[in-house]
Amino acid sequence: MPARSFDIYLQNITDFILTLNSTDVPHGIFTVAPPLGIVPGSTGHWAVENDPNKYMTGCEATVTYNVTGQMGQVQVYAQDPYQAENLCSIEAINGAERVVSPEPSGRQEPNGNNFTFNAQLKPV
């Protein structure tokens, strides 16, 4: 088991297809890549862990999806550092907040060195 890791599950309970826009992994590596799309009624999953070739870097990633047929994106962020608080969040940005509502709202601080973040995207 890696020293630091996280799994993200994003359940899409809207009528919109989510299409992968971008990924940014400043620390760590994907062990499960984000899906290219998340269709209505399904759940996307991805996972990141610390890079075994780098010393005490932890892991951090941002994954952004376009809301197909609408302006805006959904952005999921998570970090599991060696020294600091674990953080994760999901937010609708750039206009998507008018049509989709992410849950849980606000910044989450999960415990543990290897955590799972379960998020939902609902219609407004």
Give the model's confidence band at 51: pLDDT under 50 very low, under 70 low, under 90 confident, else very high: confident
Dihedral pair phi/psi, residue 12, rounded to 5°: -100, 100
What SS3 state is found at 36?
coil
Quick one: pLDDT at residue 99? 93
**CA 25 – CA 58 distance, rounded (Å):** 11
DSSP string, 56-107: S--EEEEEEEEETTSS-EEEEEEEE-SSS--EEEEEEETTGGGTEEEES-S-
Residue closest to 96 by CA, chosen among 74, 76, 77 = 74
Q: Using the 8-state DSSP alphabet, how is residue 108 labeled?
A: B
pLDDT of 79-95, one tens digit each? 998 888 899 999 999 99
Architecture of domain 5-123: Sandwich (2.60)
| One-letter amino acid for residue 45 of the chain | H
Quick one: pLDDT at residue 61? 97
State yes or no: pLDDT of 104 exceeds 80: yes
Q: Tell me the pTM.
A: 0.94
Token pair recorded at residue 26: 């400043």
Could you give the count of Cα atoms lying within 13 Å of 79 in the half-sphere of its Cβ?
15
In this structure, are residues 60 and 87 in contact, taking their beta carbons and an 8 Å threshold? no
